[in-house]
Structure 1
Amino acid sequence: MTVFFDLGCETFDTFNVTIPKTTTAIQNMTDAQFIFDSARQQYNEFAGGLERHFESVATQLKDWLPEQMRPRPPPPPPPSRFLTPATYWNQVNRWVARNTALSAGILAFVGTGAVLVFIQRTTHVKKRRARKSNNGARTEAVVLAGSPTSPLTTAIAMDLERRGFIVYVVTGTKEDEEHLRKQSRADVLPFDLDLIHPDRAEGQMQRFHHFLSRHHHAFDGASAHRLTLAGVILVPDISSVTVGSIAQLSPEAWSTALNAKVLHTITVAKYMLPLVTEFKSRVLILTPNVVSSLRPPYRAVESTVSSAIGAFAASLSSELSLQGLHACHFKLGNIEIAGSKHKREEGKKSRGTPGTSIRKLHEAIFDALHSSNPSRTWHVGRGSLIYDFIGSWIPSGVVGWMMGLQHVATNEDQRTPEPEDSSSDRSITWEKV
C-alpha cells in the first residue's frame, strides 16, 4: 500500500513517502520575521523620539511660564488620624512578627509585673498581723492606756487582739477590770498601774518587765519563746472634760482636767519609757484634732488639754529620735465606731456626711507599729487635715465667721452653755461647723 503525504511540496517515490521542501519554507519564514522585527524597531524608535520631544517641549514651557501661572500640584491626601481596628491590629501583628525576641521580652516583663503587683497587694492585706513564734504563739505585746469604758479604747483593743497582739489595758479601778473581763477575750488583759503611789507603780513595772523578759511556753513540750513590747498607745479621753465659759469654770475643774488627762498621759509615758527604750518600741498618742485646731468658744479646757498633749508628743518624739526610736501623734477627725451610742444619737439628729470608718484608724495604728520609718504626725478621720490647716493658716476672724459666731451681750456671754453630750462617746466625733 502506497501512502502519500501532500504538504504542498514536491513528491518523491522513494519508499513511497512524500518529503516536503523545507529549505524554501524556512527561507520564507526568516524573511517575514525580519520584516516584522524591523517594523517594530522603527515604531519603538519613533515613539521614543516623540516622547522625548514632548518632554523637551514641556520642560521649555515650564521654564518659560512665570511661577505664578504654573499649575499647583494636587494636595496630598490628609493622613488618617485614627487607624481602623483592622489596620491597627495588622500593623501590630507585622511588628510582632518582625520583632519576635523583643515582643517576648515585653510580654514577659508585663506578665511578671502583673504577678508581682498581685502578690504585693495580697501580702499587703495579709501582712497586717502580729508576728508569732514558730509554734504559733503570740509574741508581740501592746500596752493601751486609755479609759477602758471608752468605745474608742475598746475598739482599738479588740482590733489589736484580732491581729495577733497581746493587749494590756491600763486600769485603775475594779470597774475597769470588770469591763475588760466582760469582753471575753483571752489576750485582752488588765494592767494594774497605780499612778498615785510611785513606789507601787515601780514595783508593778518591774514585774511586767520580768514577765516580758522571761521564757514562755505555749503548751507542754513546746519550744520556749520570749515576748516583745511592740508599742505603747496613749488614748486620753480629752473631749469628756468640762464645757463652759472661762469665767464660769472653777479652778477645781481645770485641776481635774489637767490631772486626769494631761498628767495621767505624761505619767504613763514616764513609767513606760524604760521598756520602750529596751525593747525598741513605738509610742503612739491619739488626740481629737478638730476642736483643738479651731479653738471655739466655751471649749477652753479641751483646747488647752489638747494643745498640752500635742506639745508633749512633739517633745517626746524629739527625745526618742535621738535614740533611734519613734513617737507618733495621731490627730483624729470624725471617726465612726459601729454600735456606739453617740453614733446612733447623731444619726437621728442629722443625715450629714458620715465619718471615716474606724478600720482606717486600725490600719494606721498597725502601720505605725511596724513601719520601718513611721511619720511623726498622722491625720486619720474626716476633717482632721483640713481643720488642722484652717486652724494653723486661716485668721481667727475668718474662722469665727465660718463657724457663724456673732457678738453677744456681756450678760449673755457669761452664761455657760449646756453641753450637748457629757458622755465619753464624744471623744470619737467632732461638731459640725
Structure 2
Amino acid sequence: MTDAQQLFDYARKQFNDIADDVERHFEQVAGQLREWMPADASFVRQQPPPKRLPPPTTLQIAQRWMLRHRALTAAAVAFLLTGSVGAFVFVKSRDQKRKRRARRSTSGARTDVVVIVGAVANPLTSALYLDLERRGFVVYVVANTHEDEHYVRSQSRIDLLPLNLDLVDPFAAQDQLARFRGLLEREHFAFDGAEPHRLNFTGLVLIPDTQATPARVDEISSEEWSDALNAKVLNTIATTQLFLPTVTEHKAKVLLLTPSVTPALKLPMHAVENTVYGALEGFTSSLAAELKQDGVAVSHFKLGNIDIPSVTAKQRREGASKPMLKATPLRKLHDSVFDALVTKRPRRTLHVGRGSLAYDIIGSWMPPMVIGWMMGAAKRPTVVVEEVHEEEMQGSQGSLTWEKIDQEA
C-alpha cells in the first residue's frame, strides 16, 4: 500500500466520522425540539379546508339541460308558441260565437232591466239600446222631452220603453223615479197562472254627447260654454245622482261610454270636447272610488273608431272617401257592454274601437310637441264654417275616424 493510498483512506475515514457526528447532533437537537414544543402549537398555520361550491339552482340546472339538449329545447319552444297562438285564436273565435243572452225567469219572462241615458236619436245610442233589447233585457231609455219619448216608442219594441225624467223639476224627477223603483219592487206575472218574478236592475249605461264643433277658445262665447257644460256634463251628473240609491240597492253596474281619440291627444280647436271629457272622466273616477265601498262596479268605455252601419251608409251616399284603416265592427262594442253588465267584476277601464288604446298611450306618454308635430299642429288650421243640419250632427256623433281628426288638426 502506498503512502498516497493510506492518506486517501485516512481522509475518507475522517470525513465519515465528521458526517456521523453532525447527523447525531441534528438528531439530538430535533429530539429536544420535539420534546419542548407541544403537538398542537398555535403558531403552526393550519391549511383551510377546501371550499365547496353551492348546489346549482333550478334555473342553472334547466340552462345546463337546455344546452345539452338544444334540438329538443327548440322543438318544445316551437310547440309552445304554436299552441299558445292556436289556443288564443280558439278562445277568441269561441268568444265571438258565444250567444250572449240575458237571464229569464222560470216562466220565460225577462227579468234584467237596463237604463240607457244619452241622446235618444244618436246612432250609437239607438244601436246600443236596440241590441240590448234583442239580447233579452228590459231596456228603459231616459226621455227628457216628448220628442224623445215618441222616438223610442216609434221603434215598436215591446221591452224598449221610455223613462220620463224631468231634470228641470227635481220633485217631479223624484216622483218619476219612485214609480220606477216601485216597478222593480213589486212582483210580476208573465201570464195567468205563471210563477211571480221580480225585475232586477242590472245596469245604468251613460252615453253623453261629448263632441262639439271645432273652434278656437277665443271664438267660443260664454253662452256656448254654459250650454255645453249644462247639457253634456251637468245633465249626466244629475241623472246619475237620481239613480244612485237604486243602483246601490240593486248592486247595478254603471257604464260610461265616451269617444276618447280626440280628448286623448288634446288637439287644438277642441277645447269644449276636451273639457267635457276631462270633467266626465274625473267624475267617473270619484264615483268609482265611492261606489266601490258599496260593492258597485263602475266601468269607463273609451271608444275609438267604430263602424256604425247607419253612419257608414250615409257617408257612402254622400260620396265620402273610404277610410284607409278598417273600423272596429259595432258588434265588438255590443259584446263588451253585455259582458260588463253580466260580469261580477268588470274592468275599470275598457278600450273598444280602433285607435282607442294606441292614442291613449300616445297622449299619456309622448310630449305635447311630438303630438303636435305628428298631427300637423305647426300649421295654423283654417276653419271652414259650413251649415250643419241637426240630423247630420246626430249622425256624426257615433263614430270617430282618424282621417277626420287629421283634417281638423
Residues 177, 190 of structure 1: 8 Å contact kept: yes
Deviations 1:148-205 (A, max 9, x none): 1000110001100010000000001111111112211111100000111100011111
Aligned residue in 2 for 1:300: 271
Q: Does 1:220 align with 2:192?
A: yes
1:125 alignment partner, one of 89, 94, 98: 98
Task: Tell me, in whole angstroms, the C-alpha distance in 1 between the residues paired with 2:322 and 2:132.
Answer: 32
- Structure 1 residues 13-24: aligned runs within 5 Å: none
- Structure 1 residues 106-255: aligned runs within 5 Å: 121=94, 125-126=98-99, 128-239=100-211, 241-255=212-226
Task: Tell me, in whole angstroms, the C-alpha distance in 2 between the residues paired with 1:345 and 1:238.
Answer: 26
Shift of 1:429: 2.1
Equivalent residues, number: 312
Aligned residue in 1 for 2:292: 321
Q: Give the direction of change, closer, same or farther, for the CA distance of 1:405–1:174 in structure 2 (3 Å limit).
A: same
Deviations 1:251-284 (A, max 9, x none): 0000000000000110111011001011110000
Q: Which moved more, 1:177-186 or 1:193-202?
A: 177-186
Task: Tell me, in whole angstroms, the C-alpha distance in 1 between the residues paired with 2:239 and 2:345.
Answer: 24
Task: Tell me, in whole angstroms, the C-alpha distance in 2 between the residues paired with 1:368 and 1:246.
Answer: 37
Q: Does 1:279 align with 2:246?
A: no
- Structure 1 residues 392-407: aligned runs within 5 Å: 392-407=364-379
Q: Give the direction of change, closer, same or farther, for the CA distance of 1:419–1:392 in structure 2 (3 Å limit).
A: farther
Task: Tell me, in whole angstroms, the C-alpha distance in 2 between the residues paired with 1:218 and 1:347.
Answer: 49
Task: Tell me, in whole angstroms, the C-alpha distance in 2 between the residues paired with 1:219 and 1:279.
Answer: 25
Residues 334, 428 of structure 1: 8 Å contact kept: no
| SS of residue paired to 2:219 | coil
Deviations 1:232-259 (A, max 9, x none): 00000111x2321100100000000000
Deviations 1:339-384 (A, max 9, x none): 2265436872234212100100000001101112110000000000
Q: Return the index of the structure with the highest Cα Rg.
A: 1
Task: Tell me, in whole angstroms, the C-alpha distance in 2 between the residues paired with 1:368 and 1:347.
Answer: 37
Residues 342, 426 of structure 1: 8 Å contact kept: no
Letter in 2 for 1:304: T
Aligned residue in 1 for 2:68: none
Letter in 2 for 1:283: V
Task: Tell me, in whole angstroms, the C-alpha distance in 2 between the residues paired with 1:327 and 1:134.
Answer: 30
Aligned residue in 2 for 1:269: 240
Aligned residue in 2 for 1:429: 399
Identity level (%)? 47
- Structure 1 residues 47-86: aligned runs within 5 Å: none
Q: Give the direction of change, closer, same or farther, for the CA distance of 1:122–1:172 in structure 2 (3 Å limit).
A: closer
| SS of residue paired to 2:108 | coil
Residues 122, 398 of structure 2: 8 Å contact kept: no
State TM-score, norm by structure 1: 0.68
Residues 336, 343 of structure 1: 8 Å contact kept: no
Letter in 1 for 2:210: I
Task: Tell me, in whole angstroms, the C-alpha distance in 2 between the residues paired with 1:345 and 1:144.
Answer: 30
State TM-score, norm by structure 2: 0.72
